[in-house]
């Protein structure tokens, strides 16, 4: 462990960081306006082939939303690429994170290919993970059919950390939304960022997640939300943030080469399946027909605008009469949230919470905030399940035909009374409630909600630890293994001493509102 630096050194670091921040000013307004013109969703005309296909599918249930669930990583990625290839008119992509890895390169590469064939591409990305992508993103933005905007950016593109010193409140609020919309007609909304661990393409970590493909009236709401964020003052054109010259052709070739480099057989097989489903319209056989709407926060939520997602989810839960199942990888309910769940349980409602165990979570600091509340929830007969670090090993579809060594829950999902279903980006923690912008689909769809509810509950005993109170009034973790007696643990199962120490030390700090 590194020893604390002498005070003069800390003072010097502070002064230097202040000097660097002083140079990190917002790009000139004229440069921003030169590259930023308001634009809106393009609507396909009646002769559009994709308009015809969607109409053919939607005519079976007029006014309803067609919903298909993407639960395994490989299918979730293959479906996205198949839809991008199907685009005729436009692609609108909004993501918190596009990582500099295999699936990130494949995703951007296919956006470039779509632009090459005349499709208008609008890419809106949060700035949390773009530090190595500035040149690639600018090269994309300089394509005639592509615009790239960065949400709430770091003005100093070289010394990003110093931006946080004097501009923390602004930069601490992030755009966590995730959507991909094709021709304004069909969209993918859910919890996945673009990165290998979200799509079963990483051998040391996999995030178990869920997305929904949607067509129908709710797509218009997604279009309106995208336009709102796209034209917001916080969305900056990439050209204004990165004014230096880039080798456009070299960057384009780099992306196109990734497509051939990563032509993994298992991905190609899954991709062909989805491409065929879309092409012959048998896609409708996988759809559930639902009433529903988009929940989305205002892009300036942290300045007091409507907290649409948290507010509406809270109201939906309070209307529950039988059961609530919620999945949140980063679960920090706080005093108010804990009391709300306890009150629901006291009313006889079956409340189940699924989150990560300390061994499974990728953010030990969040676990330190969650563990303050779990004991009182268990005492109040709230069922608390913590996902095992190897929970998704069984029969997982993966890019390389084998499972990752560690799994972590990443799905953000609510099932209410086996009738209503929420799928989106919202975690039940202070950051999602107060700081980050979020979005998701709130569907009234009994057939689908019941299927998801029963499917999750059928797997939970073997993929998670159930928390209970023992006779000494302490927590125990119960592990069910088929054909064996239930195992009991008296401390965080499979978590290393170092992880336990991390969670403990962070728990001493007054930072819960930032988790």
How many Å apart are CA 221 and CA 214, to the nearest integer? 11
Query: Which entry of 135, 417, 429, 463 is annotated as an active-site residue?
Result: 417
Query: DSSP alpha helices (H): ranges in 325-445?
Result: 334-346, 364-379, 430
Query: Which entry of 301, 410, 420, 463 is annotated as an active-site residue?
Result: 410
Structure tokens at 201: 């393409």
Catalytic residue flag (residue 412): yes
Query: DSSP alpha helices (H): ranges in 131-201?
Result: 134-141, 160-166, 168-171
- DSSP bridge partners of 148: 123
**131 alpha-carbon distance from chain centroid:** 19
Q: Which helix (H) or strand (E) holds 255?
A: helix 248-261
Structure tokens at 326: 């919620």
Q: Which helix (H) or strand (E) holds 149?
A: strand 146-151
- The residue assigned the tokens 């605008």 is 305
Q: CB–CB of 17/218 below 8 Å?
A: no
Query: Which entry of 53, 178, 367, 463 is annotated as an active-site residue?
Result: 178
Buried b (16+ CB within 10 A) or exposed e, 180-209: bbbbbbbbbbbbbbbbbbbbbbbbebbbbb
CA pseudo-torsion sign 73, 88, 92, 97: positive
- List Cβ neighbours of 418 (8 Å cut-off, separation of 6 or more): 322, 323, 446, 449, 450, 453
* CA angle (61 as vertex; 58, 66 as ends), nearest 5: 60
Q: CB–CB of 125/98 below 8 Å?
A: yes
Catalytic residue flag (residue 261): no
Query: Which entry of 36, 64, 176, 463 is annotated as an active-site residue?
Result: 176
Query: Which entry of 183, 211, 297, 302 is annotated as an active-site residue?
Result: 183
Catalytic residue flag (residue 417): yes
Catalytic residue flag (residue 301): no
Catalytic residue flag (residue 144): no
How many Å apart are CA 97 and CA 175, to the nearest integer? 9
> For the residues of 442-462, what is the DSSP string, one character each?
EEE-HHHHHHHHHHHHHHHHH
- The residue assigned the tokens 């298992």 is 266
Catalytic residue flag (residue 110): no
List the catalytic residues: 176, 178, 183, 410, 412, 417
């Amino acid at each position: 462990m590194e020893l604390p630096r002498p005070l003069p050194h800390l003072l010097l670091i502070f002064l230097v960081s202040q000097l660097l921040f002083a140079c990190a000013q917002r790009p000139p307004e004229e440069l921003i306006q030169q590259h930023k013109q308001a634009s809106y969703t393009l609507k396909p005309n009646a002769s559009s082939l994709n308009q015809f296909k969607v109409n053919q599918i939607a005519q079976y249930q007029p006014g309803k939303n067609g919903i298909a669930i993407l639960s395994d990583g490989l299918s979730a990625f293959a479906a996205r690429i198949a839809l991008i290839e199907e685009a005729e008119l436009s692609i609108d992509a909004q993501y918190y994170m596009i990582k500099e890895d295999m699936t990130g390169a494949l995703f951007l590469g296919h956006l470039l290919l779509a632009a090459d064939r005349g499709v208008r591409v609008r890419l809106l990305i949060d700035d949390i993970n773009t530090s190595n992508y500035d040149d690639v993103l600018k090269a994309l933005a300089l394509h005639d059919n592509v615009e790239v905007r960065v949400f709430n950016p770091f003005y100093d593109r070289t010394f990003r950390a110093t931006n946080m010193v004097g501009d923390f409140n602004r930069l601490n609020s992030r755009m966590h939304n995730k959507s991909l919309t094709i021709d304004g007609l069909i969209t993918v909304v859910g919890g996945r960022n673009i990165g290998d661990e979200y799509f079963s393409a990483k051998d040391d970590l996999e995030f178990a997640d869920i997305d929904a493909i949607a067509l129908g009236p709710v797509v218009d709401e997604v279009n309106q939300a995208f336009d709102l964020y796209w034209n917001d003052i916080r969305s900056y054109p990439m050209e204004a943030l990165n004014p230096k010259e880039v080798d456009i052709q070299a960057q384009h070739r780099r992306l196109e080469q990734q497509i051939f480099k990563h032509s993994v057989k298992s991905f190609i097989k899954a991709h062909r399946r989805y491409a065929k489903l879309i092409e012959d319209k048998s896609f409708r056989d996988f759809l559930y027909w639902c009433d529903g709407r988009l929940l989305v926060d205002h892009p300036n939520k942290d300045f007091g605008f409507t907290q649409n997602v948290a507010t509406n989810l809270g109201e939906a839960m309070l209307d529950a009469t039988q059961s609530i199942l919620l999945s949140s990888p980063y679960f920090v309910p706080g005093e108010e949230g804990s009391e709300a769940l306890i009150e629901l349980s006291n009313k006889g409602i079956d409340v189940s919470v699924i989150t990560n165990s300390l061994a499974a979570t990728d953010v030990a600091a969040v676990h330190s905030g969650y563990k303050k509340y779990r004991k009182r929830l268990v005492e109040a007969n709230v069922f608390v399940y913590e996902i095992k670090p190897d929970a998704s090993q069984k029969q997982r579809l993966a890019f390389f035909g084998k499972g990752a060594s560690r799994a972590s829950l990443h799905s953000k999902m609510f099932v209410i009374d086996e009738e209503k279903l929420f799928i989106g980006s919202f975690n039940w923690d202070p950051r999602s409630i107060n700081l980050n912008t979020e979005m998701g689909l709130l569907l009234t769809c009994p057939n689908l909600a019941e299927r998801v509810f029963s499917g999750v509950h059928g797997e939970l005993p073997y993929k998670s630890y159930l928390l209970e109170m023992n006779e000494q009034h302490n927590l125990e973790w119960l592990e069910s293994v088929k054909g064996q007696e239930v195992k009991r643990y008296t401390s965080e199962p499979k978590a290393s001493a170092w992880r336990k120490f991390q969670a403990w030390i962070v728990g001493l700090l007054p930072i819960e509102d930032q988790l």
